[in-house]
Amino acid sequence: MSVIPLGRSSVRSERLRAAGRSARLLAGLVIVGFWVICALFGERIAPMDPYADHLLATLEPPSALHWFGTDQLGRDIFSRVMVGARDILTVAPLATLLGTLLGAALGLVVGYFRGVVDDVVSRLIEAVQALPLVIVALMVLAAVGTSNLAVIMVIGFVFTPLIARTVRSAVLIESSLDYVAAAHLRGEGALSIMFEEILPNVMPLILVETTVRFGYAIFFVASLSFIGFGIQPPSADWGIAVSENYSLIGSYWWTVIFNALATASLVVGVNMAADGLQSVLQE
């Protein structure tokens, strides 16, 4: 049994009340929630067809008709920004989830068994972390090709050692506590101790690490799309839009700035939610 099992419901209730009082957490969730709605229903609620070309209305500045102006093909930028949330909010969460699952499992195993297992895996993690992660991602994507699935797999595997190292540190601390020793005396197996005893006690840390990595994943996906190795056209992805119109920023700033601000606002929203969640879980 984990530490103080009878008090878990009261702890959850207190944390829920603390979450309701956290302005940072709520603000972050509102921002992320807005973009999730755009991702799910963007094509239905967008005022214009985000993919329709209007060659007689190219590069028009923001106006009452086109709130964010139009791009080189006369497409409504406001509508494209709304729809552009879809792919990035598909790829980034799945990549983060993959990295979290693999990293948490690896961290549990390494932190619990220690010894040779810890030494070998830790050296491999350090070797991976010594390489620039963007360069690693570009090399793999250049080899396997660019697709949403490839981007998810690459970012997930890049995040795995980072999350594993954080979870390992927490598991090393938990493994030295009395409830783990008691589980050993009861004859519980390694898997039972790792996933039934230790995992629930390090789950708050994993949740915070997941939200933090989610913010990095959004920026990572946008960066890869900007240089042509991430989400591919004809998607209205924000990174692609910035890349396609970057040369116009001097004269037609609106073709770039609104997509960049959308990316920044989503990252800020996720980071605010992560900070708020961390403060709630630490109370």
What pLDDT is recorded for position 130? 76
Of 34, 41, 32, the closest CA to residue 96 belongs to 32
Q: Which residues of 47-84 are buried (b: 16+ CB within 10 A; e: fewer)?
A: ebebeeebeeeebbeeeeebebbbbeebbbbbbbbbbb
What does the pLDDT average to over 245-251? 88
Could you tell me which of 189, 214, 208, 198 has the C-alpha nearest to residue 107? 198
Share of residues in the chain with pLDDT > 90 (%)? 49
User: Which DSSP category does 157 fall into?
Assistant: H
With cut-offs at 50, 70 and 90, classify the pLDDT of residue 5: very low
pLDDT at 77: 96
pLDDT reported for residue 145: 79
In which band, very low, low, confident or very high, does the pLDDT at 133 lie, cut at 50, 70 and 90? confident
Q: Supply 223's token pair.
A: 């960066």
Q: pLDDT category, 258, cuts 50, 70, 90?
A: very high
The reply to whether omega before 234 is within 30° of 0 (cis) is yes
Average predicted confidence (pLDDT) for the chain: 87
Give residue-wise pLDDT tens across range 54-63.
988 899 999 9
Q: Which residue has the higher pLDDT, 231 or 14?
A: 231
Say what the pTM is. 0.86
Contact 241, 232 (CB under 8 A): no
Judged against a pLDDT cut of 80, whether residue 9 lies above it is answered with no
Selected residue with higher pLDDT from 125 and 147: 147
**CATH H-level, domain 14-282: superfamily:** MetI-like (1.10.3720.10)
Q: Cα–Cα distances in Å, from 37 out to 30, 56, 68, 78?
A: 10, 31, 19, 15
Place of tokens 């197996």: 189
Name the band, by pLDDT with cuts 50, 70 and 90, for residue 4. Answer: very low
pLDDT tens column, 139-190? 888 888 788 899 999 999 989 988 998 999 999 998 888 888 888 888 888 8
Tokens of residue 137, six digits: 């991602």
Question: What does the pLDDT average to over 23-52?
Answer: 92
Instruction: Supply the pLDDT for residue 11.
Output: 59
- Helices 148-175 and 115-129 pack at an angle, to 10 degrees, of 140
> Confidence band (pLDDT; 50, 70, 90) for 15?
low
When pLDDT is cut at 50, 70 and 90, the band that residue 127 belongs to is confident
pLDDT at residue 67 in the model: 95
